[in-house]
Every structure is written in structure tokens, then in C-alpha cells.
Amino acid sequence: MALKEKTLLLDAAAIRRALTRIAHEIVEKNKGTDELVLIGIKTRGIDLAQRLAELIASFEGVQLPVGTLDITLYRDDLRHREKSEQAVVHGSEIPFEIEGKTVVLIDDVLFTGRTVRAALDALIDIGRPRQIQLGVLVDRGHRELPIRPDYVGKNVPTSRNEVVAVQLAETDTDDKVIILEPSAP
């Protein structure tokens, strides 16, 4: 299915403002940075978690530990993939203890909630955090599971046939969030 750009949702400046607000909210909600760690869900959640850590360091003077979480093997749609499609596992990198910590799980887009469910399963297999919070750049609705983010950059009502595409300079050409829709045949 071919997609075309429908709307520019966030430009680079809007992404920066949203992340700055989320960084402040994380520190405020947790009354500082003690026992706080950030874990980004591969792929763009990692870049967002790194940016949040840098922002928090700039106004708190504390560098939070940042880890990466690969949820490939925890996805509930693996059995529905074509036989020719192989899951590519990149591995998680969490070089610090999460036991007893407050983990802020970071992702780019929250949609059905299934990615977050898989991430929760993966985290619990690693250790037992005191608390898990969720931060997302975009919440587009259409939840299939009872999952709600603690921190949101932008809430956007979408239709199911639209795609919210997050592009970040670290993995793409520039920073922007766009809504794509199917193009006419």
C-alpha cells in the first residue's frame, strides 16, 4: 500500500519543545532524579531517551543512565508473520541494575499498546523495578490494551488507516513527525 504525506504534525522545534516539557515533567513527578533510569524501546525510543537524558542533565546536572530495549521476541504478532519474514533481534543493552529503580520507558508512538505490553514483559524478565512509567512523543489513540502513558508530547486523534511516522536526525534525515495516508490507486 502506497502512502502519501497528509500532515506535518511536529517540526524540529515542536519536537524539541515537547521533549523539554516531558523532561521537566519526569523530574517533577519523581521529585528529582534519585533512582531514576531511562530505557528507550528500539529504534526511535532510544534516540528520544538519549535526548531526554541530555535535557535532564542540562537543568539538573545529573546524567541519568540510559538503556535500550529490544522487544522483538516479546511481540505477540510474531506467529502471524509470513514464513519468509524473519524477526531480527538486535538485543537489549541495559548496563545498570533496574531492581528497585523507577524506570521511565520511552517510545516514539503509542498506538494499540502492544509494543508497550511486550516492553513490560521484557523489563520484568531483566529485573523488578520499583515502578515503571511510560513516556511517548505521540499518542495516537486506538488502544487495544489498558495502557496509558505518564508523559505525552502530543495527543493526536488518527484514523486506523493513517500512519504516524516519526523521523529523527539520529536515524533519519531530519526531525519531524508526519501523518501518512493511503494514496489513491
State pLDDT tens for residues 86-126: 555 568 999 999 999 999 999 999 999 999 999 999 999 99
Cell 512523543 belongs to: 137
pLDDT at residue 91, rounded to an integer: 80
What integer is the mean pLDDT of 53-76? 95
What integer is the mean pLDDT of 1-23? 96
How far apart are alpha carbons 37 and 116 in whole angstroms? 17
* Of 40, 60, 56, residue with least CA distance to 48: 40
How far apart are alpha carbons 133 and 149 in whole angstroms? 7
Averaged confidence pLDDT in the chain: 93
pLDDT at residue 83, rounded to an integer: 47
Fold assignment, 13-160: Rossmann fold (3.40.50)
> Pick the residue with more confidence: 76 or 157?
157
Q: What is the pLDDT of residues 172-184, one digit of tens each?
A: 999 999 999 999 7
Cell 505490553 belongs to: 117
Q: Which range has the worst mean pLDDT, 4-13, 81-90, 170-179?
A: 81-90
Q: Where are the domains of the chain?
A: 13-160
How far apart are alpha carbons 182 and 171 in whole angstroms? 24
Q: Which three cell numbers stand for residue 138?
A: 505521540
Q: Is the pTM of this model over 0.85?
A: yes
pLDDT at 84 over 50: no
